[in-house]
Structure 1
Amino acid sequence: MKRDFLNLTDLSRQEILDLIKRTATLKKERSENIPHPVLQGKSLGMIFRKNSTRTRISFEVGMFELGGHALYLTDEQLQLKRGETIEDSARVLSRYLHGIMIRNDDFEEARLLAEHADIPIINGLTDKNHPVQVLCDLFTLQEKLGRVENFCIAYVGDGNNMTYSWMEAASLFDFQLNIATPPECTTPGTKDFSHLKNVSFFTSADDAVKGADVIYADVWVSMGMEAEQDKKMQLLQPFQINQKLLDQANPGALVMHCLPAHRGDEITGDVLDGPQSVVFDQAENRLHAQKALLEMLLS
């Protein structure tokens, strides 16, 4: 029976722990030049309706290193732009491919793709959530802290798809999640997680980072939201992650950012490049964690 990965909660807590363990193995094998062609003969279609650096390269290289093949597909290369339905596209692509990763603006489109495809569908980012990123981040926290529970993470900035996926993670694992956003930039889907006692909301970045072991940033203006740029840039100025804010967290608190970063906006360059930043290790780990996910879903 095929499995899709549209939400982090499509996996159980134990399955995520197993993937974290497998990610560590794949990362170690790669560092030792040990091949692992477990998806030899398999093909992954990658539908990009939103551009990306990390998502495209990490999935494409990941499939290559697993012995498979990845196809980069844009609107210009598919008939979706000319009116072919996502349902028909799902049925056709299922006859050619072994899995599809989709990165787009519309979670409902990804859901329809999964509903009508006979092969696994992976959410590479939608307007609702970004589960592959948080899966990778959990591995990074295991790598850096030695655990994925019993810590406090403060997300500071715009309420967006990343905050939704972090709330999904908080529903599976026992850590404290503090979300600091301006009242006008509240996190979408908070009602879905209103029952969680380990998620708290703040309108002050200073209050949110007190006692935090991790501070997390994302861009202030997501792709497709450029019309709100001027408004958000003004509202989010007090939510910049800088050394002054970092000093209010626990000593040695980690700094994470899912990238791309706009230095001087949501995070200062000295913090991004500083000794507490794990941002570029985090970016690398997209490759390793997604390889573990691909192996699980496509093998």
Structure 2
Amino acid sequence: MIFALRNLSGRWLSLGIKCSVRSFGCGQVALGAAALKGRHLLSLKDFSGEEIKQFLWTAADLKMRIKQKGEILPLLQGKSIAMIFEKRSTRTRLSTETGFALLGGHPCFLTTQDIHLGVNESRKDTARVLSGMTDVILARVYKHSDLEQLAEDGTIPVVNGLSEMYHPIQILADYLTLQEHFGSLNGLTLSWIGDGNNVLNSFMMSAPKLGMHLNVATPKGFEPDADVTKVAKSLAGECGTKLFFTNDPVEAASGANALVTDTWVSMGQEDEKAERLKAFHGYQITMKTGKSAAPNWTFLHCLPRKPEEVDDEVFYSPRSLVFQEAENRKWTIMGAMVNILTDYSPLSNKPKF
């Protein structure tokens, strides 16, 4: 593709700059690390399979070089991040603060009690102020539209730390965990048993691009977003993967390599707790659920976990990867930040995805 601009007289001027066509589906083209620099990370639907693999490769490379080899990598020296948190957090806050600092950068933790976000100052003005003082914004918010507004009005990359629609940085950690455990992602079957929430939406927007099949069990009335489902079905068709929906947890677990769930009552849904617990009766993941899964099945949960979602026998078993998954939140957010803010290319061999 050749870029051209129109000058003041209306004539077209060729800039002679070639750009690879970026695909967000399965027509994947390896674009290299530079293709991610300066981009927003609001949802994995905006990234091709090869670009998602680049995030994961960078995370694995940093984990190997820093954790295993003990290297000091000041890749974000002189960089700062504004961390806006409307919702409380353990993993997102710690992974971002410690990871950004470990790479030589400066994290700034901001709650709605610390700044004027949307109260004494518009989100638009806040985006402009933060753009002048920091290099990237990570925001954990209620409304996904607030992230989109920050991205539109600011001049620096915005990373989704969680919204009601998507949780992309969690899914990157899940994929790195599965890749480490199984050696490859392609061909795996994931079984989601729980609420049709932001975590499931993120799986649906990305799993097909990595060659993974997805079985989804939700109670009636708690299905994933209709628009997300429509796009996910199209992706699965394009990528040649299976996307299956049911209301039966055991049916969804059939042949699965990973059983995955999340909280049934998210922050902001506390008033619905009694109704939700009733609707999700029978959805607890147990060893009995795993009997219909593949012999090598594993378990994932993004935490914090409640016993009604998964019993102790599964949660603390050797099949459970939840604490490896939690640690990988740090390495994947580090990988994402390095890709978004620098031209870093991993030194290790690319993992088999």
Give the shorter-chain TM-score range: over 0.9
Counterparts in 2 of 1:96-245, with a 5 A limit? 96-188=133-225, 189-195=228-234, 196-197=236-237, 198-245=242-289
- Code of the residue aligned with 1:4 in structure 2: it is H
CA distance in 2, matches of 1:147, 1:97: 36
Find the partner of 2:312 among 252, 269, 276.
Answer: 269
Contact map agreement 2:191 2:258 (CA 8 A) in 1: yes
Secondary structure, in 3 states, of the residue corresponding to 1:105?
Answer: coil
State the distance in 2 between where 1:43 and 1:90 align. Answer: 15
- Over residues 131-167 of structure 1, what are the superposed CA-to-partner deviations in whole Å (9 max), with x where a residue is unaligned? 0111111111111111121011000011100110000
Aligned counterparts of 1:67 and 1:140: Cα–Cα separation in 2:
25
> Aligned AA for 2:230?
K
Count, aligned residues: 298
Higher deviation after alignment, 25-34 or 178-187? 25-34
Tell whether the 8 Å contact from 1:178 to 1:200 is kept in structure 2 after alignment. yes
Q: What amino acid does structure 2 have at the position aligned with 1:76? A: Q
Whole-angstrom CA distance in 2 between matches of 1:251 and 1:187: 28
Q: 2:102 is matched with which residue? A: 65
| Aligned-partner SS, 1:270 | helix
- Which range moved further: 28-37 or 54-63? 28-37
Separation in structure 1 between the aligned mates of residue 189 and residue 50 of structure 2, nearest angstrom:
21
Deviation at 1:191, TM superposition (A): 2.8
Aligned residue type for 1:56: R
CA-based RMSD of the aligned residues comes to 1.2
CA drift of 1:2 comes to 2.7
**Where do 4+ consecutive residues of structure 1 move more than 3 Å?**
none
Matched-pair contact (CA < 8 Å) for 1:49–1:105: yes
Larger deviation, residues 145-154 vs 28-37: 28-37
Equivalent residue, structure 1, for 2:29: none
Residues 46 and 70, structure 1, Cα contact 8 Å, conserved in 2:
yes
Larger gyration radius, structure 1 or structure 2: 2
TM-score by length of structure 2 reads 0.82
What is residue 301 of structure 2 aligned with on the other side? 257
Distance in 2 separating the partners of 1:165 and 1:82: 30
Inter-partner Cα distance in structure 2 for 1:193 and 1:150: 17
| Paired letter, 1:218 | D
Normalised by the length of structure 1, the TM-score is 0.97
**Can you give the 5+ residue segments of structure 2 that lack an aligned partner in the other structure?**
1-36, 343-353
- For residues 151-200 of structure 1, the C-alpha deviation after alignment (integer angstroms, 9 at most, x for no partner) is 11000011100110000113422211001001121112323323234211
Q: 2:78 aligns with which of 38, 41, 45?
A: 41
Alignment of 1:75-114 (within 5 A): 75-114=112-151
Which residue identity does 2:331 align to in structure 1?
Answer: H
Q: Percent identity?
A: 37
Larger fraction in helix? 1
Deviation at 1:19, TM superposition (A): 2.0
Question: Given that residues 50 and 105 in structure 1 are in contact (C-alpha distance below 8 angstroms), is that contact kept between their aligned partners in structure 2?
Answer: yes
State the AA in 2 paired with 1:185: F
Check if 1:3 corresponds to 2:35: no
